């Protein structure tokens, strides 16, 4: 990216960029190239989400604004933008406003290490998978802080539920990541994708881990059936009950950006990222990023499908699933994967 | 240049936020400053090229430990006047402990300066950093040479955890619990029976 910019400035303006400036500009351009389409994708995914639920409930869904209702999300965004920002009198003002910004920011920075195609990644770091895990484990702060700063019972209850829930499911996500990185032999996301050439991890002994990861991803993003932090029927909307206008919009955008990120993670870890399903030359005619976006699309459909069909879990059932089912299962699978790799002599070096 | 700038940025924020942890009035703010300090020290690790430790720092300390701190601190009912009243009483002993720690720090610092360069060999040679990632280097050292210490540390933590659970666990009578196994194993004939009721007689 930096070399390209140096050439561009040389050609367009006849000036030579200083190397550090070129690097900096390259990063800024890279960030914009990822973040802007991501925001568009978030808007469209909200629309798709609503259309899928509508279809499953035999309704029409949004169909008024723009052709087939395509502009609905933008209309909603504009409406939110024009609303008044209300800050409760007894709220802790700074933290109250920090929380939605943090949620949104974390949802965006995680995309820095996601590889869209071979070599197409903003920052190809050695510990990409740990970075993603670290960022997704920070997501809980946005919710805890908003719940505490709102100084409201409903918000606080929602925040407490969410903190307990996200911490519980992170443990099994961690173990699932361990099985994947043992099989791939690397913490680098591009290497993990390349290790799946010809055989996705989905069609290997890691299949149960893919299921565990998907369900834990639902819990991490507070999607139904694990949307207890919001639980509009009991605690009206949980941590976001006091928020209005853009502060609410930031939560909303952050939530959907996180969902798309989780879809991307499932695609990278188990569905071979930008690779086609078979290692067969004609399939490589389709560019890698189309495969990748297609996989994200399918995963997002699954997320919407689950939301439309599965009723909300009770709190003790949620905790039981996380600690008594997923944790032992994933821990056992770590040992099993290690043993399998050892005895089949497939330990990647 | 950028490297030095980043170092001073991270270092200054770490020290400042560490100071704010102990000096801010609101405990929730203290935890937030603590998180900021963790983050910036993770940044310092990245500058050192220790990316694995930096990420583990964020995952373990910020993602897990500080969440629990926050969880506890949020539930506290803070009475500021109560907090300030103890200040006078504990000033003397607190100051003494502070002085001892300061003296130790100074001793360590001086020893560092006066002792000369370290001449003993490090326990095991690690491979050159250019050839392997530092995750691999750490792993191959931890799981071979230091496996006993590593496993021991894990065991101690496990024992501590089980101990904490055993100490705080109590069986309360009269709590209704869902037994999923029992529910699933239930058969039709245990659940209900069909009785032919003759008209006008009832079940008796």
> Inter-chain contact A144–B74, Cβ cutoff 8 Å?
yes
pLDDT, tens digit (0-9, with 9 covering 90-100), for A146-179? 888 888 888 888 888 888 888 888 888 999 999 9
Residue B122: the pLDDT is 54
pLDDT bucket at B12, cuts 50 / 70 / 90: very high
Chain B residue with the nearest C-alpha to that of A125: B51
Measured in angstroms, the CA of B88 and the nearest CA of chain A are apart by: 29
CA A313 to centroid of chain Cα atoms = 21
Distance CA B107, CA A118 (A): 53
pLDDT tens profile A221-235:
888 788 877 776 677
* ipTM reported for the complex, 2 dp: 0.79
| Nearest CB neighbour to A127, from listed B32, B52, B71 | B52
Alpha carbons within 13 angstroms on the beta-carbon side of residue B107 total 6
| CA separation for the pair A121, A137 (Å, rounded) | 22
Confidence check: pLDDT of A36 > 60: yes
Alpha-carbon span B90 to A70, nearest angstrom: 66
Higher model confidence: residue B12 or residue B197? B12
Mutation choice for A interface testing from B33, B67, B158 by most A CBs within 10 A: B67
Contact B58 A127 (CB under 8 A): no
Write out pLDDT tens, residues A48-92: 998 998 998 888 888 888 788 888 888 888 888 888 888 888 778
Considering only CA atoms, which of A225, A208, A95 is closest in space to residue A155? A95
What are B78-103's pLDDT values in tens digits? 666 666 666 777 888 888 999 999 99
| Alpha carbons A181 and A341: distance in angstroms, whole number | 12
Query: Per-residue confidence at A1, pLDDT binned at 50, 70, 90?
Result: low
How far does CA A84 lie from the centroid of its chain?
Answer: 29
Task: Please indicate whether, in this complex, the C-beta atoms of A95 and B52 are within 8 angstroms of each other.
Answer: no
Q: Does the reported pTM lie above 0.90?
A: no
Does residue B129 carry a pLDDT above 80? no
Query: Residue A213: its pLDDT value, please?
Result: 92
B28–A137 C-beta distance less than 8 A? no
Q: Minimum mean pLDDT among A118-127, A247-256, A335-344: which range?
A: A118-127
Task: Assess whether pLDDT exceeds 70 at residue B115.
Answer: no
Testing the interface with B: which of A97, A126, A177 to mutate, by most B Cβ within 10 A?
A: A126
Q: How far is CA B133 from the centre of its chain?
A: 25
Under an 8 A CB cutoff, do A320 and B180 touch? yes
The 10s digit of each residue's pLDDT in A240-266 is: 778 888 888 888 888 898 899 999 999
Residue A198, H or E segment: none
Q: pLDDT over 70 for what percent of chain B?
A: 85
Residue B130 has pLDDT above 80, yes or no: no
- For residue B171, what pLDDT is reported? 81
The answer to whether residue B137 scores a pLDDT higher than 90 is no
Place of tokens 């006078």: B88
More confident call, A185 vs A19: A185
Q: Do B59 and A125 lie within an 8 Å CB cutoff?
A: no
């Amino acid at each position: 990216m930096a070399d390209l910019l140096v050439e561009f400035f040389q050609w367009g303006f006849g000036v030579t960029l200083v190397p550090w400036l070129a690097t900096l500009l390259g990063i800024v351009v890279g960030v914009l190239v990822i973040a802007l389409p991501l925001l568009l994708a978030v808007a469209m995914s909200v629309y798709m989400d609503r259309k899928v639920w509508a279809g499953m409930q035999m309704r029409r869904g949004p169909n008024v604004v723009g052709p087939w209702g395509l502009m609905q999300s933008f209309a909603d965004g504009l409406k939110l933008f024009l609303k008044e920002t209300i800050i409760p009198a007894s709220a802790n003002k700074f933290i109250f406003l920090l929380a939605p910004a943090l949620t949104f920011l974390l949802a965006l920075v995680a995309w820095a290490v996601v590889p869209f195609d071979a070599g197409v990644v903003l920052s190809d770091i050695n510990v990409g998978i740990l970075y993603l895990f670290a960022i997704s484990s920070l997501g809980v702060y946005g919710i805890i802080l908003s719940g505490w700063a709102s100084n409201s019972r409903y918000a606080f209850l929602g925040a407490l539920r969410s903190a307990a829930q996200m911490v519980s499911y992170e443990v099994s996500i961690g173990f699932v990541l361990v099985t994947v990185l043992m099989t791939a032999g690397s913490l680098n996301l591009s290497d993990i994708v390349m290790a799946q050439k010809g055989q996705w991890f989905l069609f290997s002994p890691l299949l149960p881990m893919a299921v565990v990861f998907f369900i834990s991803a639902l819990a991490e993003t507070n999607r139904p059936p694990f949307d207890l932090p919001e639980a509009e029927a009991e605690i009206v909307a949980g941590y976001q009950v006091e928020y209005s206008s853009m502060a609410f919009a930031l939560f909303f955008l952050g939530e959907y950006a996180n969902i798309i990120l989780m879809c991307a993670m499932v695609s990278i870890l188990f569905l071979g990222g930008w690779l086609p399903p078979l290692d067969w030359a004609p399939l490589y005619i389709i560019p890698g990023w189309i495969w990748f976006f297609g996989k994200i699309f399918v995963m997002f459909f699954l997320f919407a499908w689950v939301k439309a069909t599965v009723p909300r879990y009770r709190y003790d059932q949620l905790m039981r699933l996380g600690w008594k089912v997923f944790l032992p299962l994933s821990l056992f699978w770590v040992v099993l994967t290690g043993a399998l790799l050892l005895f089949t002599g497939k330990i990647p070096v | 240049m950028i490297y030095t700038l980043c170092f001073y940025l991270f270092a200054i924020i770490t020290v400042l936020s560490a100071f704010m942890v102990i000096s801010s009035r609101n405990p929730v703010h203290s935890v937030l400053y603590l998180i900021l300090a963790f983050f910036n020290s993770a940044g310092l690790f990245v500058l050192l090229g220790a990316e694995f430790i930096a990420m583990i720092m964020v995952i373990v300390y910020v993602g897990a430990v500080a969440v629990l701190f926050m969880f506890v601190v949020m539930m506290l009912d803070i009475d500021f006047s109560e907090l300030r009243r103890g200040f006078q009483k504990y000033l003397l002993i607190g100051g003494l402990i502070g002085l001892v720690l300061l003296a130790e720090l100074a001793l360590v610092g001086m020893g560092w300066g006066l002792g000369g360069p370290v001449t003993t060999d490090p326990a095991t040679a690690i491979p050159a950093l250019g050839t392997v990632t530092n995750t691999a280097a750490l792993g191959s050292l931890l799981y071979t040479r230091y496996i006993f210490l590593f496993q021991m540390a894990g065991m101690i933590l496990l024992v501590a955890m089980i101990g904490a659970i055993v100490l705080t666990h109590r069986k309360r009578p009269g709590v209704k619990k869902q037994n999923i196994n029992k529910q699933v194993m239930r058969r039709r004939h245990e659940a209900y029976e069909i009785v032919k009721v003759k008209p006008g007689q009832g079940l008796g």
